[in-house]
Amino acid sequence: MMLIWLIAFPFLGGLLAWFCARFSSKAAHFISLLVLAFSIGAIFLAWQQGESSTSMEDLWMLQWRWMWLPAWGIEIHFGLDGLSFVLLLLTYVMGFIAVMVSKNQISHNIGLFHFCLLWMVSGVAGILLSLDLFLFFIFWEVVLIPLYLMVVMWGHKNRVFATVQFFIFTQASGLLLFLSILALVFVHHAQVGVYTFDYDQLINTSLPYPLAIWILLGFLLAFLVKLPAFPFHVWMPPLFAESMCAPLLVGIMVKTGAYGLLRFVLPLFSSDIHLIAPWMTVLGIVSIVYGAILAFAQNDPFKILAYSTLSHMGLILIGIFSQDKLALSGVAVLLVTQALSTGGLLMLFAHLKTSLPDLDLQKVGGLFKVVPGVTVLSLFFVMASVGLPGLGNFVGEWLVLLGIFSTNTISAAFAASGIVLGAIYSLWLVQRLFYGAYKGGMHTTISDVSAGQKALYGFMVLLLIGIGFFPAPLLDVVSTVWQEKAPDIDEEIL
Amino acid sequence: MMTVEMVLYLLPMISVGATALLLMLSAAIRRCSIVAFSISLLGLLCAFVLTFFNEIPQARVTDLFVIDNYGIFGMRLILLATFVIVLFAFDYLKTKQEEVEEFYVLLMISCLGALCMVVSNHFMSFFLGLEILTVPLYALIAYFHQRSNGLEAAIKYIVLAGVSAAFLLFGMVLIYAQLGNMRFDILADNWAPMWNSGRLILLLGLSFMMVGVFFKLSAVPFHMWAPDVYEGAPLPITAYLATVSKGAMMVLFLRFYTQLHGDTVFAWQWLLSFIAILSMFIGNWLALLQKNIKRLLAYSSIAHVGYMLVALLSGNDLGASAVIFYLVTYFAATLLAFGALMLLESNQNESVTIEDVRGLFYVKPALSGCLVLAFLSLVGIPLTAGFMGKYWILLAGVSQTKWPLLICLVVSSAIGLYAYLRVGVSLFQDQAPRAEFPKAPCGVLKITLAALVVATLMLGIMPNSITTMIQGAAGSL
């Protein structure tokens, strides 16, 4: 029952916030924050409840099921485990931060904005908790609606094009995913004689050879579009540049692609994955290098961050398909830290963009004198995303590379090149935007981050440092997912 | 031989026919639009209630009709949709200067034709039903003859419907000449023995019949009339054309196809697959190019026929129930879309374009909510009716491994998505709407729209009860 609330609570809170915004926008803001704070509390409670009630052998810490459409064996089935716990917690935290930051950036339809944001959080919670493939797909699609509204209603000049492109990419791949799910269900039905969409049962299906690859491709495509990986990343840079909700995208949405790969593709197709893994590694390498190279060429900081995300996701893709336990744990860490570091950067840039609508590296520069606070924070997040030792991203990247290296030296070498390239373009970005000579053409006064926001960013900084120095708690939680506890992880880190 | 029992089976049809007569009488005594409106509603309600006294596995009423669960379900669907359209019509006719009682009379007669079609089991009742359905529509399309496009649309419809009916009739004759009977079930028995000797004539007859069927369904390449007529006809009639007129033909065609074991006639299947793919792609593609929302809906309805044909081609029980369910979801979403459009139209502006609704959300959030929900359902976004419908079609297709058709369905719906999305995007753009929308919704229309919203959501979230009903209906085919 707890699990239902983890999904329903943000949604209902969003409705309430929307309603209250008629009277006071402050109230809507406050309610959203309260709801997300409660959700963060609730997920810890759920985790504790699960830990005390289940033994180590259980696959899921906590489960809840109810027959929804008996005619087709479709259930409402939620389950929580280490991976979904970590990502869900991240979702709530990023949602909380996004609500805090939005205060100065959103000026109209405030109630609807909060509703959309919380709806999105609740939809992602649904994606992370669903153990019925039908249900998973429903959340997978429904989460697009608030996102779509948010981009259309609060964004910049070319947002309509960006939205439509994004929507069509995700919808078309989503329908193929659905087709694959149905095919999987039918194969299972042919073998067992029962229609079911239940994850625990479908996982035992043995798929015949050529069909398995097609079904696998359907799953892959949907997740690679969301991840995104080359060549399915086309939707991402315009969306980053045009929408106000890029931080949300990185913080909340992008995770779902990687989650889908980890949760569904690896276990469901464990016997055929080796056929596809080399190709995915190649795709990952291309994403890393291509993303890095294109990041050099951009003048829009948002686009640079979009391509850097593509580059990071390449590493995550390689990590996932190396199927090495170390690499998988590294992927989970990287997902969290990448959301924090790139999300932080995006929020800072969005802050700049409210007073500098024309944020372009050719026109703007030398902002250090004007906004020292933003500069210092940006520098920190850039350092984190580059993988400075002692910060969270380093742990993730290092684990992933270590894992890949043990299985495939060459791909590890290529993957490591992304880190070098990333260092160059990220530092160059900071150099151009904040240092150097102050460029003219900026008549407006630019406000620095306020004290309250400083506290917020400080919290993100602390999280990154915390994960960097003490990754053990995070790794412990995540590694329960890959069945055995992998005791050697802690030793190697120390 | 006609017995009393048989008359009882036909009571819903008789009730609708009697309503038409009563309407004429009352108009002869004293013209009053409220009375005409109430009589139509009562007549339809009465017919709807009467369908519940016919829960029987199967009953043949003369050679012409067969009353089974499938037919009864079809009747209920038609009656409900007509009921909603009468409610629409009431709101629409309020502002018109013309005398409006005949509008209801014609609508009732047309509905009688549709009812006749869904239970028909014979070429004669097929053709008669079709004509009873169609002829009043000629008048209804051109009912307000001052409207700019009304007459043009009606002429177009008369000519094309006439030609297609001739093809249909000729096809029936050819098949009759070969098989010597006109009852669907007997045709099916005679089919196999005659197949080897008279294959050519049978296929020729079948393809001629398909012309008539596809015209009514507005499947590509017989779709040319749809956008013009949709645009020219009064809105309630457009809604009627998109739902009842199309739905009745779909229900009848599904029965015909199943009875004749269409899945064993490969040429027929090829033809249908071809038409389905064309309809899906061309319908969605041309929808992209439209500015007028009514025309957009016309092209989308063409694409939806393509989806339904995919389900029909998937044969077996699953396919049949997928067709019916999709029809139900399509009815709900289309009626909702047209109902919302009713509020946007005014006497000055009869064709609402995408530009006209720009920024509507900020002025009329509830109305744009209805439009968005209707479009989401037509696109097939989860938690709306359209998604469950599409799910069922995909399920049926996958069970018969119709991969090429399914891939076409997926790709073309991605194209269609873009077409609908343009309306959605326009609604939320932050400029003020260009046209004024002075019309305040009357209570009747408000309640109707609310009911349709509930129906669209319920079909998407909790379709359990209707699922069992549909499976029962498809089982009796």
pLDDT of residue A170: 86
Three-state secondary structure call for residue B58: strand
CB half-sphere exposure, A87, CA atoms < 13 A? 30
Flag whether A112 is in a domain: yes
pLDDT of residue B175: 92
Residues A441, A322 within the same domain: yes
Instruction: Choose between A492 and A241: higher pLDDT.
Output: A241
pLDDT of residue B164: 94
pLDDT of residue A483: 56
B441: Cβ contacts below 8 Å, ≥ 6 apart? B91, B343, B367, B449
Residues A302, A353 within the same domain: yes
Residues A137, A280 within the same domain: no
Contact B414 A178 (CB under 8 A): no
Contact A138 B395 (CB under 8 A): no
Spatial separation of the C-alpha atoms in residues B208 and A75, rounded to whole Å:
46
**Using an 8 Å Cβ cutoff, are A327 and A402 in contact?**
yes
Q: Strand pairing partners for B59? A: B67
Judged by a CB distance cut-off of 8 A, whether residue B465 touches chain A is no
pLDDT of residue A493: 45
Residues A58, A100 within the same domain: yes
Q: Per-residue confidence at B348, pLDDT binned at 50, 70, 90?
A: low
What share of chain A in percent tops pLDDT 90? 27
How far is A255 from chain B, CA to nearest CA, in Å? 21
Mean predicted confidence (pLDDT) in B187-194: 84
ipTM (interface pTM):
0.87
Flag whether A464 is in a domain: yes
B200: Cβ contacts below 8 Å, ≥ 6 apart? none
Flag whether A242 is in a domain: yes
Q: Which residue range forms the structural domain that includes residue A146?
A: 1-167+230-259
Q: Does residue B276 register a pLDDT over 60?
A: yes
Flag whether A102 is in a domain: yes
- Find the CB nearest B381 among A141, A164, A172: A141
Measured between beta carbons, which residues in chain B are less than 8 angstroms from residue A163?
421, 425
How do strand A62-69 and strand B58-61 relate by DSSP bridges? unpaired
Measured between beta carbons, which residues in chain B are less than 8 angstroms from residue A222?
none
Judged by a CB distance cut-off of 8 A, whether residue A292 touches chain B is no
Q: Does residue A486 register a pLDDT over 50?
A: no
pLDDT of residue A494: 39
Residues A323, A424 within the same domain: yes
Q: Does residue A398 register a pLDDT over 80?
A: yes
Residues A255, A353 within the same domain: no
Q: Per-residue confidence at B242, pLDDT binned at 50, 70, 90?
A: very high
Judged by a CB distance cut-off of 8 A, whether residue A210 touches chain B is no
Judged by a CB distance cut-off of 8 A, whether residue B363 touches chain A is no
Residues A318, A437 within the same domain: yes
Flag whether A451 is in a domain: yes
Q: Does residue A360 register a pLDDT over 50?
A: yes
Comparing alpha-carbon positions, the chain B residue that sits nearest to A170 is: B414
Residue A443, judged by CB atoms within 10 A of its CB (0-12, 13-18, 19+), counts as: exposed
Q: Does residue A491 register a pLDDT over 50?
A: no
Contact A168 B399 (CB under 8 A): no
Residues A319, A246 within the same domain: no
Count of A–B CB contacts within 8 Å? 71
Tokens standing for residue B293: 């929302």
Three-state secondary structure call for residue A487: coil
Contact B383 A138 (CB under 8 A): yes
How many structural domains are present in chain A?
Answer: 2
Mean predicted confidence (pLDDT) in B248-270: 91
Flag whether A189 is in a domain: no
Measured between beta carbons, which residues in chain A are less than 8 angstroms from residue B467?
69, 71
Residues A250, A333 within the same domain: no
- Find the CB nearest B383 among A142, A164, A186: A142
Contact B398 A153 (CB under 8 A): no
Residues A163, A300 within the same domain: no
Spatial separation of the C-alpha atoms in residues B20 and B25, rounded to whole Å:
9
Residues A321, A238 within the same domain: no
What share of chain B in percent tops pLDDT 90? 57
Residue with tokens 């009759």: B176
**Using an 8 Å Cβ cutoff, are A331 and A415 in contact?**
no
How far is B399 from chain A, CA to nearest CA, in Å? 7
Contact A179 B471 (CB under 8 A): no
Judged by a CB distance cut-off of 8 A, whether residue B292 touches chain A is no
Contact B395 A72 (CB under 8 A): yes
Amino acid making up residue A443: H
How far is A148 from chain B, CA to nearest CA, in Å? 9
Summary mean pLDDT of chain A: 85
Spatial separation of the C-alpha atoms in residues A466 and A477, rounded to whole Å:
15
Q: Which H or E element spans position B65?
A: strand B65-68
How far is B394 from chain A, CA to nearest CA, in Å? 7
Spatial separation of the C-alpha atoms in residues B121 and B142, rounded to whole Å:
32
Residues A392, A479 within the same domain: yes
pLDDT digits (tens, 9 = 90+) for A258-281: 999 999 998 888 888 888 889 999
pLDDT of residue A492: 43
Q: Does residue A56 register a pLDDT over 70?
A: no
Flag whether A96 is in a domain: yes
Burial B130-142 (b: 16+ CB within 10 A, else e): bebbbbbbbbbbb
**Using an 8 Å Cβ cutoff, are A88 and A28 in contact?**
no
Residue with tokens 């151009």: A432
B95-98: Cβ within 8 A, 24+ apart:
B95/B347, B96/B144, B98/B143, B98/B144
Q: Which of residues 169-188 of A touch B (CB under 8 A)?
A: 171-172, 175-176, 178-179, 182-183, 186
Mean predicted confidence (pLDDT) in A328-333: 90
Contact A186 B399 (CB under 8 A): yes
pLDDT of residue B120: 93
pLDDT digits (tens, 9 = 90+) for A275-317: 888 999 999 999 999 999 999 888 888 889 889 989 999 999 9
Flag whether A315 is in a domain: yes
pLDDT digits (tens, 9 = 90+) for B130-173: 999 999 999 999 988 777 788 889 999 999 999 999 999 999 99
